Structure 1
């Protein structure tokens, strides 16, 4: 243990902290968190510390060499198991579809054909269906076709990352896996290539980010010139990272969806009439006295 290690140990002892990486038996390769540039020296210099009261919740701590973070340090991960009493709400998570496939002409045509066939089948079945049933069938048909043709959206990446940069990131991950080879000769063979790809990925990411935000800024300027406030506010929210809450549909008292503007306005009117038109709690006699004093100057 060097001087920094002794300082960390003293700090943890004085603040009732536990160093998680020293508690679990692992092979040396799963404890090493830093590798020198010449690939000759490996040390455990990154740690996870937590309060001693949470010691029983700590399940494992180990270094993940395969994690591609573009650094000479390895990612350190702790596994915790915490029991908390909480009330879970029954929710239906929204399925995120891979709409990027619609940019490809082949996928776009397949989606249009499948949706057209499904709508044709609905028209023959909905001869006497009401508005609510028609809306439900339309929604289920659209969502069903989207799931079949488009599928779920993969783990999202930043909007400004181009496909070319994404391919370089995947290449970087492959080199990272090759860099975990057992022999020192195999490691040296891919170390220089890995470092080169890391630099190239960072360069491309900076380029993509600058290009993306320049395009968004151009869209905002165009919206200002055209007086399109909706597009302008949408662009500003995109740049600021803020998300607005979606407009929820209007329903009547029994929960039925109101589709027409007239029904929605009538429901809003009904809501505010019931909310605001309530009997006054003030005595009418007191109100009459207040009126007689209105406009008179107080006597000194």
Structure 2
């Protein structure tokens, strides 16, 4: 069954919001599931401007507890209370996320009409699972504990071949459905037909990766390998390489190296330093494209469709 997957960039800025650039946040929609990655200041403004049916966000994934990645969280939690909701909201992130959520709820006297489940990540692991996919957290290297995330779909069954089924004498109906679900069936003549007799090769699912606030480390490429869309920090250009190193951030060229080494299909940069105006961002793109030609710049409220490859 095919499912739509889209990534909405709600904010592409780092450190401080600018009039035309909210702080880092990306919403991933996979059919009916909504996942938010980071929640900087201005997140709910972009959600409103995109007119998304977003109040039922399933889970929020926080990279780290620096202000420019979490200050939008209390507002999102309060706005989610404006609809009837029984499903829990899951919030994942490194240590201190629970304390931040708890103290915000207490100090702001938040009215929350749904369960909030906060889980802190202390080691690389699968943090969230659903029908046909899982989301994994892995370590980055920043000035405080920081994690990246990948959403990976499981392989899908191959395509069913009706002509083959008919030539094997399998009557149209429930037996076709059972074969498509991966069950073997026995015909009236006693012959057993395996799903592989009528199904094509298994087809791969999609992969989305979110990496921000880290210095360059080769292990990131292993984690995000084969991404259909890699959203990756590209905070500085080459002339600021020393500053990037000192602040444990990446240049756009280093982001491109991760995209190239991981065989990702597309890489879109995020979390730009406020030193670059929109007019100056193309320098980041030029340097990234020297290493990875499929590099792109994100802008606030940009939408990326993530189709199946086949």
- Give the TM interval when normalised to the shorter protein: under 0.3
**Larger strand proportion, structure 1 or 2?**
2
Normalization by structure 2: what TM-score? 0.22
From the CA coordinates, give the structure whose radius of gyration is larger: 1
Normalization by structure 1: what TM-score? 0.22
With CA pairs under 8 Å and 6+ residues apart, which has the higher RCO, 1 or 2? 2
